[in-house]
Chains A and B, each alone.
Chain A
Amino acid sequence: SYELTQPPSVSVSPGQTASITCSGHKLGDKYACWYQQKPGQSPVLVIYQDNKRPSGIPERFSGSNSGNTATLTISGTQAMDEADYYCQAWASGTAVFGGGTKLTVL
């Protein structure tokens, strides 16, 4: 079965750029999307179709996808961005989530 691999944790200082990766076989040939989940809340879609932002998502969130790796980039990271982030793609009619990355802003 298809797998997506994320680093368990990423740390960033406020105002700096955070990059969270998601790796999978030929992931660049698929569409990747990203969800943000804060403790006790539902996930929120922050990037879809590799690099598109839904309405209401700040411009500091961006995405890319090439080769075997999709990347979520948060520019000018704010304390409110501290959360778990999950990548997701479709493989053989199945939605696959990465294991999640805890972003710490310190």
Chain B
Amino acid sequence: QVQLVQSGSELKRPGASVRVSCRASGYTFTSYAINWVRQAPGQGLEWMGWINTDTGKPTYAQDFAGRFFFSLDTSVRTANLQINNLKAEDTAVYFCARAPGITVAASFDFWGQGTLLAVSS
């Protein structure tokens, strides 16, 4: 069965970096894009961008260009999200979600369990 398993919760200081991983199983990894979605405490869903798992090319939403980086380790079917120079406002749950390609008809059919990131001094 399709699974996206994310790494565990993180507590970081402002200015530090963090990497969140998303390990896929149960399907052909390179046939589906991996998207990243942020959910701040008590807030809605915010799309951060996606990575083409076939080419490795990342695409970032406008608000997430600069400190946020997507990468792959295809040998272990894993997508990674790295956030640099952490700020308190990065405190949120981060989800990975797969999509069968990025087209106007695409939807996120499977989601990871979410990774809670807390940024505090």
Contact = CB atoms under 8 A, between A and B. Distances in A.
Interface of A: 1, 30-31, 33, 35, 37, 42-45, 48-49, 54, 84, 86, 88, 90, 93-100
B108 A43 contact: yes
A48 B107 contact: yes
B44 A97 contact: yes
Interface string B97-117: 100001111111101111000
| Dominant SS among interface residues on chain B | loop
B47 A86 contact: no
A96 B105 contact: no
A43 B111 contact: yes
A28 B95 CA distance: 28
B45 interface: yes
A16 B114 CA distance: 32
Contacts of B59: 93
27 contacts: A1-B62, A30-B104, A31-B104, A31-B105, A31-B107, A33-B107, A35-B108, A37-B45, A42-B95, A42-B111, A43-B45, A43-B111, A44-B111, A45-B108, A48-B107, A84-B44, A86-B44, A86-B45, A90-B102, A94-B47, A95-B35, A95-B61, A95-B106, A97-B45, A98-B44, A99-B44, A100-B45
Q: Considering the complex of A and B, which 3 residue pairs feature the smallest CB-CB distances, nearest first?
A: A48-B107, A95-B47, A33-B107
Interface in B77-121: 95, 97, 102-109, 111-114
Given A93-B59, A95-B35, 18 more contacts: A1-B62, A33-B107, A37-B45, A42-B113, A43-B37, A43-B97, A43-B108, A48-B107, A49-B105, A54-B109, A84-B44, A88-B107, A90-B103, A90-B104, A94-B47, A97-B45, A97-B46, A98-B44
A10 to B, nearest CB: 15
Given A42-B95, A42-B113, A97 B105 contact: no
Contacts of B112: 42
Nearest to A43: B111
A7 to B, nearest CB: 13
